[in-house]
Each structure stands twice: as structure tokens, then as C-alpha cells.
Amino acid sequence: MILIVGASGCLGSAVSRRLLARRLPVRVASRRPASLAGLRACGAEVRLLDLAREDMLTPACEGVTTVFAAAHALLGRGAHRSEVVDRDGHLALIEAARAAGVRRFVYTSVLRASPDHPVDFWRTKSLVEQALKSSGMEFTILRPSAFMDIHAHRLIGRAILTGRRVQLMGPGTKRRNFVAVDDVAGFAIRAITGDELTGRALDIGGPENHSSLEVASVYGELSGRPVRVSRLPTWLLRTLAPVCASLHPGLARLFAMHALADEAFDETFDPTALLAEFPGRLTTLREFVGAQVVRAPTH
């Protein structure tokens, strides 16, 4: 049995669908099991799971051979703030999996996770990576860059395709790497079902780096729709971050991240080594946007 934590999310659902298509036994978990009806219809066992609830972790791991962890609470607050879910919840999940006899644990971290990263979320990912490495279980750590499906489409392109104004945080000129979730899911499937990635931490990114303004302009060009952009200035993000820190730490983190100087927080990726080791195609931004444009409503 393969347990997917974060099965309602962008990556978790893509990986769940691929495993189910191979007719593998899959247990999908979420705080909102009703959101997993589609995966249930494809044959998945559905489980209520909240990483903030330690008592739910051991039962979820019973009879499981492999855990795929694809949950996060970057924007969480209160009982579901990042420290509770991303740090304590994941450390407890690793321990519950080990104690339940899980053989393999595949963890989704993030590109450039490190103990001295300027953003706490990246430090947390690094801490969990270390705990997994010393757990004794077979492990793979996936370290993807920003998902096109979220950071290019949901946060930029969708507004353009539906005639709304794009709201950017900061000037929108910082170059970042974007990777298609489908490409990340391909590596996750290799890690879950094969042995070639066991014991590895793999940096994963798309073929190019782009700024948010470039992403917006590709959407405009390929859809033929006007691009209207508003920007929250960096000084305002810097002011807002400490103001909302106690009320909404997730939002404060987002403001602080976007207020950081480009050089403080490199988000680019060079795919040369990845492509040399895994020859094949990585989805380009234009290919990805082209597919979104075809799917977009015409009125």
C-alpha cells in the first residue's frame, strides 16, 4: 500500500492518479476526504489525515510500504501554521512511518532547502530532510523549483485568461525557475516504484528561468488577451510582513519572501545535470501556457 499525504494538492493528486492508472494500491489522505472523491472513484482508499493530529499518523501508516509526502502549509496559520504542519507534523509522520515498518519514504522538499536559508520554510524543509536521512528507512528527497501550475498559472496566467488584472508582489522582474507538476510527478513515480533514486536528494527544475512579467507576457502573446498588471511595492511588503506576523504568519512569510533582495534568495536552476542524468523532455513555459490557453474558456 502506498500512502499519499497531500493527495488533494497539485503534486499529490497528479502522483495519485498515475499510481492508480498502474493499478497500484493507493491510500490517499487529506483533512477534507470529500475532496478526494475523484481518486476514490479511480480505486483509492481515502483516509482523513491532519498532520497537526499526531494520533492520526500511526493508523494512516498501518499496512503501508511506501509513503509519499506532498503536503505543506507555507501559508498556514493558527493550529495549521507551518511550524506545526511542515516541521512537527512531518517529523512525527517520519517517526510514525518508521515505527509502523514502512520501507520507503519519498519526501517533497524544495529547491535549495538549507539550514541557513533566509526563509524559515526552506530551513524547515532542510530539517525534515535530515530527519528522514537518519530514519533508517529507504528515502528519496525531491527538491523541485516553483510549480508552473501554481506560480505561473494560478497566480498569474489565470487572471489574464479570465480578463482580470494580475496582482504581483514586488516588481515582478526576479528570474525564477518554473517546473511543470507533470514533470515533477514523473520523478516522484520513479522514486516510489523503482530503486534508481533511493538514497538520493534530487534537484528538479524546468528548462528555463523567467520573471513573473515574462510569464504574464507569454500568456498575453499565446492567448491574444490583454495583460494588465498591478504591483505591490517592495516597501509595502516590507511594512506589512511584521504587521501581520502574529495574525497570519503564512501571509507574513509571503510578504517577507517577496520583499527579499533577489540575491538574498536565488530561485534559478540550471537543468544541465538533471537532463544529462535523465535524458528526456522537460516542459517549457510556452508549451505549458499553450496547453492552458487551449483549455481556457472562450467567453
DSSP H or E segment with residue 110: none
Comparison of 14 and 137: residue with beta carbon closer to ligand NAP: 14
Site for ligand NAP in 37-96 (CB under 6 A): 49-52, 70-73, 80, 85
* Dihedral of alpha carbons 105, 108, 112, 113, sign: negative
Q: How far is the CB of 248 from ligand NAP (least distance, A)?
A: 15
**Residue 18 CB neighbours (<10 A):** 18
CB of 174 to ligand NAP, least distance (A): 15
Q: Which residue is nearest to ligand NAP (CB)?
A: 9
Closest CB to ligand NAP among 34 and 264? 34
CB atoms within 10 A of CB 197: 20
3-class DSSP state of 161: helix
| C-beta of 37 vs 243, nearer to ligand NAP | 37
46 torsion bin: left (phi>0), alpha (psi -120 to 50), beta (else): beta
Q: CA-CA distances (angstroms) from residue 211 to 116, 177, 220?
A: 25, 9, 14
Q: Name which position in 2, 10, 159, 254 contacts ligand NAP (CB under 6 A).
A: 10
Residue 299 CB, nearest approach to ligand NAP (Å): 28
Q: Which one, 109 or 223, has the nearer CB to ligand NAP? A: 109
Decide: is 222 part of the binding site for ligand NAP (CB under 6 A): no
Using the rule CB under 6 A, give the single segment among 28-36, 131-139, 232-240, 247-255 that binds ligand NAP.
28-36
> What is the closest distance, in whole angstroms, from the C-beta atom of residue 73 to ligand NAP in the complex?
5
Q: Are strands 26-30 and 45-48 parallel, antiparallel or unpaired?
A: parallel
Our finding on whether 127 is near ligand NAP (CB under 6 A) is no
DSSP 204-270: E--S-EE-HHHHHHHHHHHHT----EEEE-HHHHHHHHHHTTTT-HHHHHHHHHHHS-GGGS-B---
Q: Collapsing DSSP states into helix, strand and coil, what is residue 48?
A: strand
Spell out the alpha helix ranges (H) of 46-173: 57-61, 82, 90-99, 120-133, 158-161
Cβ distance 109 to 70 under 8 Å? Answer: no
- Smallest gap, in angstroms, from Cβ of residue 298 to ligand NAP? 27
- Rank residues 236 and 251 by Cβ distance to ligand NAP and give the closer one: 251
Q: Which is nearer to ligand NAP, 178 or 219 (CB)?
A: 178
The footprint of ligand NAP on residues 132-191 (CB under 6 A) is 144, 146-147, 150-151
Joined together, the cell numbers standing for residue 165 give 488584472
16 binds ligand NAP (CB under 6 A): no
Site size with ligand NAP, rule: CB under 6 A: 27
| Residues engaged in binding ligand NAP (CB under 6 A) | 6, 8-12, 30-32, 35, 49-52, 70-73, 80, 85, 108, 110, 144, 146-147, 150-151
